Structure 1
């Protein structure tokens, strides 16, 4: 595969996660990732500053989709209804390839503390993006922060359920995420 062929970024992410799963994060080098992806090390560094950043490759797009969905929710939407709109928008961007990739990514993250920390920072960043989008809509800070955190938790729970290998491949991620948010809404109401 030529180094200038499209999809280098995606190939790098897939190669990295596969190598992290096969031989461990610490044992995997940038050179190995680039070779597996069919690109040069220079191409790797044009896309990512280091191998940790491979895990958050789609974070900017995910944040943008969440924020757009929240911003485009009807003016009368409650904070959680606006979060639902953001979650549905973001979930719609994830297709079958995301689902197939999920179990390998989960295994790679579970096996390395540094990757777990990077994944946690990703969650914080997504919650902050949703919180800011809600504040822009006029939602009070504390309510916006809580709704943003619930949104991240719902996305993670829905994604985990959707990505289970025994699930129907035609399952819709958005349905799982909305169901998770509804469950969290009910659970928070029972807190008293």
Structure 2
């Protein structure tokens, strides 16, 4: 995930400098409130800093816990983990970029199109989270990956709620909240990428 944050709305950011935080319990965040990424920074999500066109799964499935690698902590294992992360993040970020471009551009003011953009953003973010939760990562990176899944699920929940707004005015009023939801996602992506020895995400 850089997964995924946004400008007006929030571009999704998938994920570099501090070490892993206190590990988050291995239970996955629920998928029920709304995704980069959507509604979030341009993804990393999502994910890596970049994005690609991965296939988003059902909006409702919650990811499982990220596992930390045991003895596989050498340079080769780290490179493998970084490659696996990028394989998820790059496609997710690309898809989020396209959705956000439409949401903040031609679809702005068009309620049905904007709602469709947000639903796809949330689905992309959640698909990224499910993939990330299945990766086996070095301990420090696993801690940040769990954090990323948690905050990205929170962002996806918000995105889904905003997508249910009945008017364009109500939806537009939530754009600042969508942008704010990108901040914790961008931090988790940056830290995760640092632990995987990857460059910081491009969130512009």
TM-score by length of 2: 0.29
TM-score by length of 1: 0.30
Name the structure where helix makes up a greater proportion of residues: 1
